[in-house]
């Protein structure tokens, strides 16, 4: 029996375009830096530490959120009304640049903005009665977040398919936690002490805390005695975290990469029969500021452009750590790259990513110019209409992104290529990432039971 989810409408208002770009850049760079091994881990005999950099926060750093209230309806589905963050639109006024600048001057100005303002942290069933949905909110087409509760206390978290642990900031957190919602385990009757230390070393500093156990609710699904990390020191997250209004991360990758092999909450949902199918899916709104939806237990066929579940194209997994598939190739304008490389489908990375040499050639093929000091490329937006589609082959299927979908307007007539560079040596690499830039076009279904990922062109609603 199909069920529809109803999301409350919300509005968005305009402010600075630069702030629209900065979270995307911070998120994208942080994600790929972590994957490339820029971050490192420090352990001790009493610490629980991640031994793999993809458990680190990746494209999630400048999200904003408003408080949400979950309400159960008669059909057993959770509707979570939310407010969107402001949309920001005034790069010229804020940074004293002008549309009369040359393209080269605009690229230089953007480089200065990024260098001065961006913290680089280094870093399958259809929807039915037994599914549950969480509304995802878009901050400037950069990342997506939604509400959960831990011990009855509400937090906004990034739902991240590239990591496996849940962490939230503790009441014991210092200045770096700013105005974030803080977890107070003394206020929860179901809290249970674990006490093991949790420590990750970022390129810019450490993140510390300890493990605890409490009741966690995602939408209407409640998991009792779930183990997660309380973070007490967020120095390693820097300005990106203190400026953002998201609170934590909920990992949706496999148990094999979880710190201390703690069972991810989404796996527990399936094992305990809280959702019918071992499937979850992401619908990411195509428009700037548009809400998306994360569904546990299946997917909603209304998010498929054709409305037909037969149009879902399934790609087998290559491994059970990240959601890794085999890349056929990425091609543009007659040139092909990445044949047979590994490819991670990652909701926690805002951009697409690939090896530096290949991404540089992709950029060159469309006439994009390197942004100084950043692994990014820009092109005049006026040239978009003459550019070819970017094609992605996965398994026996072909997908594509139009110039409007692989370029991002950055202000001053400059469009940024939504690709950044990541170099991962063999045997783990070469590696490519399909982040939110790809997932916005395609409803993405993560099928744990059948070890596959499905894509279907999104309806946009």
User: Domain spans of the chain?
Assistant: 39-280, 302-457
| Half-sphere exposure for 263 (CA within 13 Å, toward CB) | 13
Q: What residue ranges in 183-220 does DSSP mark as E strands?
A: 192-202, 205-218
Q: Which CATH number fits domain 302-457: 3.40.50.720, 2.130.10.10, 2.40.70.10, 1.25.40.10?
A: 2.40.70.10
Please give the positions annotated as active site: 160, 346
What topology is assigned to 39-280 in CATH? Cathepsin D, subunit A; domain 1 (2.40.70)
In 49-169, where does DSSP find H-type helix? 91-95, 103-117
pLDDT of 397: 96
For the segment 11-26, the average pLDDT, to the nearest whole number, is 40
| Half-sphere exposure for 398 (CA within 13 Å, toward CB) | 6
Please say if the pLDDT value at position 254 is more than 90: yes
Determine the Cα–Cα distance for residues 461 and 20; give it in Å rounded to an integer: 22
Whether the domain at 39-280 and the domain at 302-457 fall into the same CATH topology: yes
pLDDT of 91: 29
pLDDT band at 126 (very low <50, low <70, confident <90, very high): very low
pLDDT in tens, 326-381: 999 999 999 999 999 999 999 878 889 999 999 999 999 999 998 887 778 999 99
pLDDT of 7: 29
User: Are 220 and 81 in contact, with CB atoms under 8 Å apart?
Assistant: no
pLDDT band at 143 (very low <50, low <70, confident <90, very high): low
Of the candidates 414, 437, 436, the residue with the CA atom closest to the CA atom of residue 368: 414
- 67 burial via Cβ count (<10 Å: 0-12, 13-18, 19+): exposed
For the segment 94-109, the average pLDDT, to the nearest whole number, is 42
pLDDT of 222: 94
Please say if the pLDDT value at position 62 is more than 50: no
DSSP state at residue 25: H
Low-confidence winner among 91-95, 232-236, 276-280 (lowest mean pLDDT): 91-95
Of the candidates 33, 140, 34, the residue with the CA atom closest to the CA atom of residue 416: 140
pLDDT band at 239 (very low <50, low <70, confident <90, very high): confident
pLDDT band at 74 (very low <50, low <70, confident <90, very high): very low
Of the candidates 245, 226, 235, 246, the residue with the CA atom closest to the CA atom of residue 185: 226
Q: What residue ranges in 165-204 does DSSP mark as E strands?
A: 166-169, 192-202
pLDDT of 50: 47
Taking CA 322 as the corner, what is the angle to CA 230 and CA 395, rounded to the nearest 5 degrees?
A: 155
For the segment 259-279, the average pLDDT, to the nearest whole number, is 90
Of the candidates 138, 153, 160, 237, the residue with the CA atom closest to the CA atom of residue 188: 153
Low-confidence winner among 306-315, 344-353, 443-452 (lowest mean pLDDT): 344-353
pLDDT of 201: 61
Determine the Cα–Cα distance for residues 397 and 314; give it in Å rounded to an integer: 9
Please say if the pLDDT value at position 171 is more than 80: yes
Determine the Cα–Cα distance for residues 147 and 79; give it in Å rounded to an integer: 11
For the segment 226-233, the average pLDDT, to the nearest whole number, is 96
More reliable by pLDDT, 78 or 199 = 199
More reliable by pLDDT, 202 or 273 = 273
Phi-psi region of 52 (alpha: psi -120 to 50; beta: other; left: phi over 0): beta
pLDDT of 235: 81
pLDDT band at 65 (very low <50, low <70, confident <90, very high): very low
Flag whether the pTM goes above 0.95.
Answer: no
Length of the chain: 461
In 218-306, where does DSSP find H-type helix? 238-243, 265-271
- 207 burial via Cβ count (<10 Å: 0-12, 13-18, 19+): buried
The pair phi, psi for residue 435, each rounded to 5°, is -95, -155
**What does the radius of gyration of the chain's CA atoms come to, in whole angstroms?**
21
How much of the chain, in percent, has pLDDT values that exceed 90? 41
User: Are 132 and 70 in contact, with CB atoms under 8 Å apart?
Assistant: no
pLDDT in tens, 178-226: 889 999 999 999 999 999 999 866 545 677 899 999 999 998 899 999 9
Determine the Cα–Cα distance for residues 436 and 141; give it in Å rounded to an integer: 8
The tokens 């009441």 sit on which residue?
A: 171
The tokens 């209004």 sit on which residue?
A: 245
pLDDT in tens, 127-139: 444 444 555 544 4
pLDDT, averaged across the chain = 73
Determine the Cα–Cα distance for residues 191 and 303; give it in Å rounded to an integer: 38
More reliable by pLDDT, 135 or 385 = 385
Please say if the pLDDT value at position 242 is more than 50: yes
Determine the Cα–Cα distance for residues 281 and 71; give it in Å rounded to an integer: 21
pLDDT band at 287 (very low <50, low <70, confident <90, very high): low
């Amino acid at each position: 029996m199909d069920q529809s989810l109803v999301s409350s409408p919300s509005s968005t208002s305009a402010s600075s375009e630069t702030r629209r770009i900065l979270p995307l850049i911070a998120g994208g760079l942080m994600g790929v830096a972590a994957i490339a091994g820029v971050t490192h881990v420090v352990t001790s005999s009493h610490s629980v530490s991640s031994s793999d950099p993809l458990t680190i926060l990746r494209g999630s750093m400048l999200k904003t959120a408003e408080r949400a209230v979950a309400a159960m309806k008669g059909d057993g589905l959770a509707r979570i009304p939310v407010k969107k963050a402001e949309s920001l639109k005034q790069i010229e006024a804020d940074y004293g640049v002008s549309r009369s600048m040359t393209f080269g001057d605009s690229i230089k100005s953007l480089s200065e903005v990024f260098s001065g303002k961006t913290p680089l942290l280094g870093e399958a069933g259809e929807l039915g009665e037994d599914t549950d949905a969480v509304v995802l909110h878009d901050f400037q087409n950069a990342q997506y977040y939604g509400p959960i509760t831990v011990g009855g206390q509400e937090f906004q978290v990034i739902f991240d398919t590239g990591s496996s642990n849940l962490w939230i900031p503790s009441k014991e957190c210092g200045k770096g936690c700013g105005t974030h919602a803080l977890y107070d385990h003394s206020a929860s009757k179901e809290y249970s002490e674990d006490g093991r230390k949790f420590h990750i070393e970022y390129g810019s500093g450490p993140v510390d805390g300890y493990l605890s156990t409490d009741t966690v609710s995602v939408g209407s699904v409640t998991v009792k005695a779930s183990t997660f990390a309380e973070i007490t020191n967020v120095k390693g997250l820097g300005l990106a975290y203190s400026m953002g209004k998201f609170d934590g991360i909920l990992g949706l990758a496999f148990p094999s990469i979880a710190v201390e092999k703690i069972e991810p909450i989404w796996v527990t949902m399936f094992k305990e029969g809280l959702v019918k199918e071992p499937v979850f899916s992401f619908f990411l709104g195509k428009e700037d500021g548009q809400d998306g939806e994360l569904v546990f237990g299946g997917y909603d066929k209304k998010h498929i452009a054709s409305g037909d579940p037969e149009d879902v194209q399934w790609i087998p997994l290559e491994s059970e750590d990240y959601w890794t598939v085999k890349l056929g190739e990425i091609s543009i304008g007659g040139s092909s790259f990445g044949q047979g490389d590994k490819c991670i489908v990652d909701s926690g990375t805002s951009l697409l990513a690939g090896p530096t040499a290949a991404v540089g050639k992709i950029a060159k093929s469309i006439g994009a110019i390197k942004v100084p000091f950043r692994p990014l490329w820009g092109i005049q937006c006026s040239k978009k209409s003459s550019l070819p589609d970017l094609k992605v082959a996965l398994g026996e299927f072909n997908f594509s992104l139009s110039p409007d979908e692989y370029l991002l307007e950055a202000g001053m007539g400059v469009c940024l290529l939504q690709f950044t560079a990541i170099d991962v040596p063999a045997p783990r690499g070469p590696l490519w990432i399909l982040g939110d830039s790809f997932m916005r076009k395609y409803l993405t279904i993560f099928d744990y039971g059948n070890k596959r990922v499905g894509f279907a062109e999104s309806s946009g609603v």
